[in-house]
Amino acid sequence: MALCLKQVFNKDKTFRPRKKFEPGTQRFELYKKAQASLKSGLDLKAVVQLPPGENINDWIAVHVVDFFNRINLIYGTMSEFCTEKTCPIMSGGLKYEYRWQDDNKYKKPTKLSAPQYMCKLMDWIETLINNEDIFPTRIGIPFPKNFQQVCTKILTRLFRVFVHVYIHHFDSIISMGAEAHVNTCYKHFYYFIREFSLIDHRELEPLKEMTERICH
């Protein structure tokens, strides 16, 4: 029997404090609207659609932050099964290997263990979503012109967390009773990135068969 989400995902195990929206802001109101739709049991394909009259960048920003929180929570709980010894390479099976690159220390794609990659990834995303020049929170401050490209990169890398977790740690997900919750999070994520064409379809190949099975 599946456990409730709070039992399955111990918040003490998350990598980072959850990024929260300031009450009273438009972003907070959008977040509440999105969460209310999720909890109402509406079809996930309908939930991800842009509400009438809302700004698409605000809608994407809210979801990027929410997906970061949720996926960070999932991996934070799975991290005890994902170690330097069990996962010396950040991969998705034998066919896919993900190397880390950023604008600081790692200027060329670098082979890392899965735990190292995940830590770098969560640090990198946290820095971006807390950067007011990229994710502005004040009214009247415009999004940068490359905002959606930045979000595409964030979401593409977050998708790789799903790839690694599903392919290498699915037994652990099942043993924890978390399969239904992880699947729902994945479906929500998948329908969102497809609705707004935010990830190149080639990046989705590692989970193609599973996606066709659970995302109708």
The amino acid occupying position 68 is F
63 a known binding residue?
A: no
Domain assignment of residue 160, yes or no: yes
Domain assignment of residue 149, yes or no: yes
82 a known binding residue?
A: yes
Domains in the chain: how many in total? 1
In the chain, % of residues over pLDDT 90:
66
pLDDT per position as a tens digit, 139-183 = 788 999 999 999 999 999 999 999 999 999 999 989 988 888 899
Domain assignment of residue 75, yes or no: yes
CATH number at residue 159: 1.20.140.30
Domain assignment of residue 140, yes or no: yes
Picking from 64, 28, 33, 32, the residue whose alpha carbon sits closest to that of residue 46 is 33
In the chain, % of residues over pLDDT 70:
81
87 a known binding residue?
A: yes
N-term to C-term CA, the chain: 24
Domain assignment of residue 15, yes or no: no
* Structural domain containing residue 190: 25-39+56-86+114-215
Domain assignment of residue 202, yes or no: yes
Exposed, middle or buried by CB within 10 Å (0-12, 13-18, 19+), for 126? middle
pLDDT per position as a tens digit, 8-42 = 344 444 445 455 555 555 555 565 655 554 555 56
201 a known binding residue?
A: no
pLDDT per position as a tens digit, 83-111 = 999 999 999 999 999 999 998 899 999 99
